[in-house]
Amino acid sequence: MSPGLDHDWQAVFANPKPKIGERTKTRLLILLCVLWVIIGLAGHAPWKPDELISVSIIKHLLAGGDWVVPMLAGEPWLKNPPLYYLVAALFAKLPLLSLHDAARLSSGMWMSLTLLFIGMAGRELWGVGSGRQTALIFIGSIGLVFTAHSISPEVSGLTGYAMAFYALALSPRRPLRAGLLLGTGAGIGFLSKGLLNLEIITSSALLLPLLFDHWRRSSYWLVLSVGVVAALPWIAPWLVQLQQHAPDLFDSWLENSRVISRNFVYFSRAILWYAWPALPLAIWTLSKWRPDHAPIQLCLLFFLISFAMLGISTTSRDVYLLPLLIPLTLLATPAVETLSRSLAAALNWFGIMLFAVVGGFIWVGWFAMMTGFPVKLAGRMHKLSLGYVPEFNVVFFIAALMFTIVWIVVVFNSNRSNRAAINDWAVGMLLFWGLVMTLWLPWLDAAKSYQAPFLSMQKALPANYACITARDVGESQRAALDYYANIHVQRFEIVQSLSCDLYLIEDELGRAQVDPGDDWKLVWQGKRPSDRRESFRLYQHL
């Protein structure tokens, strides 16, 4: 058992666990995690906002661009340091795959590492055999699945958090190894997402010995010292290069890193669904055990620091809740053993009914798209993705059928134990994601992709033009113009003039349309077929 466990916790986990089939359980867990990771990594266009921004930056790197300053559609982009983009660019060189599909494979690598460290942290805190439950709860998180399979630095940032958390859990037993992992995790987090990740990890590491006796030992100072040394090779080179290469951008990056916001209410509401089922299980653990247990101290401190810093340092986007999944998942793990049978059964039945309804709806929606029946549903599906032309894909159909059969077999063969509730939930999440990424993927891609409208715009461009001024064109849209049509624009918001001979305007629902005047002739207009919020107009100066 981990030294972090005291006598009471040992009593909980001292119940004999069946040894027969342990190796088989581990193999099945690995298979489930592998399927969860790889499904959805390829086969669709980059979607906004994060994926389009990322592929534009990756394209710049592959063209020989400067790694120190990521470039979005020809403009410096320093909201995130370059680690994720650099690794994704290496994957993007793989043959036979499009740039975005190959780059998305890097997210699979980062998520595999995250799952590894999450599982090891569960084992370290709660004992042998608990890591499996930790991993199952984690992949069952509702809010994780979409971001985990996207081209986004949030994915590698999550890996940094998971590595650092495991290091803190390991520190009482293996201080040297923990120090190396802590510094590496902090470095990966910083080079993925910037100062916020570094501040959360550093604050958690420093406050542990100040607040809790369990970490107030001489070996912990070795952890911190080694951590600093291990983090420097990750942090220092980019900072030095940025300061020397682009001091103005360096100052701007520092200033933007200190922007204060207030998003506690938004995050408090969003986490109620985002962290399901970890959140209710974590609450159960906290209701049963005293806060002076070392594992609970670590989880609570990491959660509170993360929540506080995210609340004052980020905008109101669900994706920023990702770091909170780590301590909540670890807090939820012991509930698998201690949850009452009635509550475990209720959670299990809720999960079964939820995924049965969601999975059934996905199947019915697909059937409506293929056959036109039920008529109302088919019309609604068509309206939501006007560019989609129904086409039966036998590979996707067989894969979706297999996901459904596996879920049915698992559910009906479940022994309705506490562990079965977590297993069923994880398999249910695999069913949901597998069906979405097979039956509905072409339909979603047709609705979300900017490829068709921007290739149409590219064809409408005059043979000779000097440049394009863009007004109200968002970051994702400029990235899509760069990725699909090799078009860079000059933003009117920056240049404050119409010096170019082409003028691109993005119109948004509820915003007054800009009238360019009689000196401009409309040469193209377009939008994504099902998009009712935004459209584009291109004018040429007469």
* β-bridge pairing 468-471 and 490-491: parallel
**β-strand partners of 539:** 503, 522
Burial 393-408 (b: 16+ CB within 10 A, else e): eeebeebbeebbebbe
Q: What is the DSSP string of 300-321?
A: HHHHHHHHHHHHHHS-S-GGGG
Whole-structure pTM value: 0.93
Quote the pLDDT of residue 13: 45
Classify 68 in phi/psi space as left (phi over 0), alpha (psi -120 to 50) or beta.
alpha
195, 120, 152, 80: CA torsion to nearest 10? 10
- Asked if the peptide bond before residue 237 counts as cis, ω within 30 degrees of 0, the response is no
Quote the pLDDT of residue 292: 82
Q: How far is residue 221's CA from residue 228's CA, in Å, rounded to a whole number?
A: 11
Q: How far is residue 438's CA from residue 436's CA, in Å, rounded to a whole number?
A: 6
Residue 45: phi and psi, rounded to 5, are -70, 160
Q: How far is residue 320's CA from residue 322's CA, in Å, rounded to a whole number?
A: 5
Where the chain has pLDDT below 70, the residues are 1-22
Quote the pLDDT of residue 20: 41
Q: How far is residue 91's CA from residue 55's CA, in Å, rounded to a whole number?
A: 12
CB 304 within 8 A of CB 250: no
**β-strand partners of 471:** 505
CB 31 within 8 A of CB 353: no
CB 419 within 8 A of CB 133: yes
Report DSSP state, residue 461: S
Per 3-state DSSP, the chain is made up of helix, strand and coil in percentages (nearest 5) of 65, 5, 30
Quote the pLDDT of residue 393: 95
Q: How far is residue 454's CA from residue 449's CA, in Å, rounded to a whole number?
A: 10
Give 18-47 pLDDT, tens digit per residue. 444 567 778 888 999 999 999 999 999 999
Angle at 506 between CA 501 and CA 512, to 5 degrees: 110
C-alpha 407: how far from chain center = 25
CB 237 within 8 A of CB 68: no
Quote the pLDDT of residue 258: 75
Q: Let me know if 164 is exposed, middle or buried by CB neighbors in 10 A (0-12, 13-18, 19+).
A: buried
Q: What is the DSSP string of 54-94?
A: HHHHHHHHHTT--SSS-EETTEE--SS-SHHHHHHHHHHT-
Q: How far is residue 542's CA from residue 540's CA, in Å, rounded to a whole number?
A: 6
| CA R_g for the chain | 25
